[in-house]
Structure 1
Amino acid sequence: MERLIPALALLLVVVVVFLLMRRGWAQRTAAQAGVPAPARPLEGTPVIHGPVDGMYVATTAAGDPYDRIAVHGLGLRTSADVVVTDAGIVIDRAGTGDLLIPWADVTGVRSSQGMIGKFVEPDGLVVIGWTLGGTALESGFRTRAADARTPLITSIRRQIEED
């Protein structure tokens, strides 16, 4: 009996923490309800570079790597492939659906050490700046192979300059 009460108290604390986390995520989603759904890629668009295998880290508000965008699955970390196409940047996210960042919406690309949910060696993440319905965003991607990072960034920069 002397172990049962502390165990139940600990269980109660864990349940309360999880409920508060769920409530916080729901409030974040409600606050971001005005962010439109991202475009979906078109089949058969010519590929310029890729696919590059890696991990989609998250999408955050531009300039704030800790302000995760929770709507439309943009805040969920998952395995992904990035493909640079004539239409834009396609991020094929496992389990959450593909998204297309049209070239007209891409504002830049850079490397970074981290953003919410993932911190790595210096310049270990590819961060794509873009706009969605007037909201400035940044999406992070971690390539599985380190030597795939620079060619991906170069390919995106080349397309931005041409567009």
Structure 2
Amino acid sequence: MTPATWLAAGLATGLAAEKKSAAVTDWGARIGWLVGLALFVALVYWLMREGWKWRATLQGDLPELPGAPAEPGPAKLTMTGRYHGSTTAGQWLDRIVAHGLGTRSRVELTLTDAGLDVVRPGATDFFVPAASLREARLDKGIAGKVLTEGGLLVVTWEHGGRLLDSGFRSDRAAEHTEWVEAINSMIETNTTEGAER
């Protein structure tokens, strides 16, 4: 062997000796972190659920929701879409959760002379009598749900001595204006008839 070959072989051996094996993963620590993270997420979820139950307890004075009458009359308007929740009127972040009013769901709305029938598959249905309707308007947000300007139909109604805002979004948002006009016209007619009596 020539000196150059010896030198090359020596360098290769020296370099190979200096290389260290890759660090072995500490599986115990990694599993510990994952378990800790899972427990933290479970704790946060439990606290959120308890907060929701506490809010329902605080709103326990709200009476049961009215059901639809047996004969509500012919439908003036119908709509399918989403129910986004109810809040204290004028306070779009003060969600009402009692009696299932805080549960978001699909919705089928029907407006009749008797009032507004709110059918929610998978959640509690309720009925807003015509005498309890106070206002309808277009808005952009309710209870943590923000949409484009006018993207939400908000109906203000009275229940148990409290004014509530309920937010709906139609599958066809162009219908919202027609609903606002029809509900406000119905409220005005009922108010006029009540004043004449």
The TM tier, using the shorter chain, reads over 0.9
Corresponding residue for residue 113 of structure 1: 140
How far residue 117 of structure 1 moved from its aligned partner, in angstroms, is 3.6
- Specify the SS of the correspondent of 1:84: strand
Matched, 1:67 2:94: yes
Considering only aligned residues, what root-mean-square deviation do their CA atoms show, in Å? 1.1
Q: For 1:40, which of 46, 61, 67 is the aligned residue?
A: 67
Structure 1: 4+ residue segments shifted above 4 A? none
Shift of 1:47: 2.8
Equivalences for 1:14-163 in 2 at 5 Å? 14-163=41-190
Contact persistence 1:58–1:117 (CA under 8 A): no
* Cα distance in structure 1, aligned partners of 2:45 and 2:128: 33
Q: Larger C-alpha radius of gyration, 1 or 2?
A: 2
Q: Is the 8 A contact 2:86 2:142 kept in 1?
A: no
CA deviation after TM superposition for structure 1 residue 150, in Å: 1.2
Q: What secondary structure, in the 3-state scheme, does the structure 2 residue paired with 1:23 have?
A: helix
- Counterpart AA for 1:17: V
User: Residue type of the partner of 1:60?
Assistant: T
For this pair of structures, how many residues does the alignment match? 163
Q: Which amino acid aligns with 2:88?
A: A
Q: Partners in 1 of 2:106 and 2:65 — Cα distance? A: 18
Q: Identify which range, 28-37 or 98-107, moves more after superposition.
A: 98-107
Query: Aligned residue for 2:40?
Result: 13
Normalized per residue, the structure richer in helix is 2
Secondary structure in 2 aligned to 1:110?
Answer: strand
Secondary structure, aligned partner of 1:126: strand
Q: Give the whole-Å Cα distance in 2 for the aligned partners of 1:63 and 1:76.
A: 19
Identity of aligned residues (%): 34
8 Å CA contact 1:57, 1:117 repeated in 2: no
Q: Is the 8 A contact 1:47 1:83 kept in 2?
A: no
Structure in which a larger fraction of residues adopt strand: 1
* Higher RCO (C-alpha under 8 Å, 6+ residues apart): 1
Query: Please, which moves more after superposition, 69-78 or 143-152?
Result: 143-152
Gaps spanning 5+ residues in structure 2: where? 1-27, 191-197
TM-score if structure 2 supplies the norm length? 0.79
Give the TM-score normalised by the residue count of structure 1.
0.95
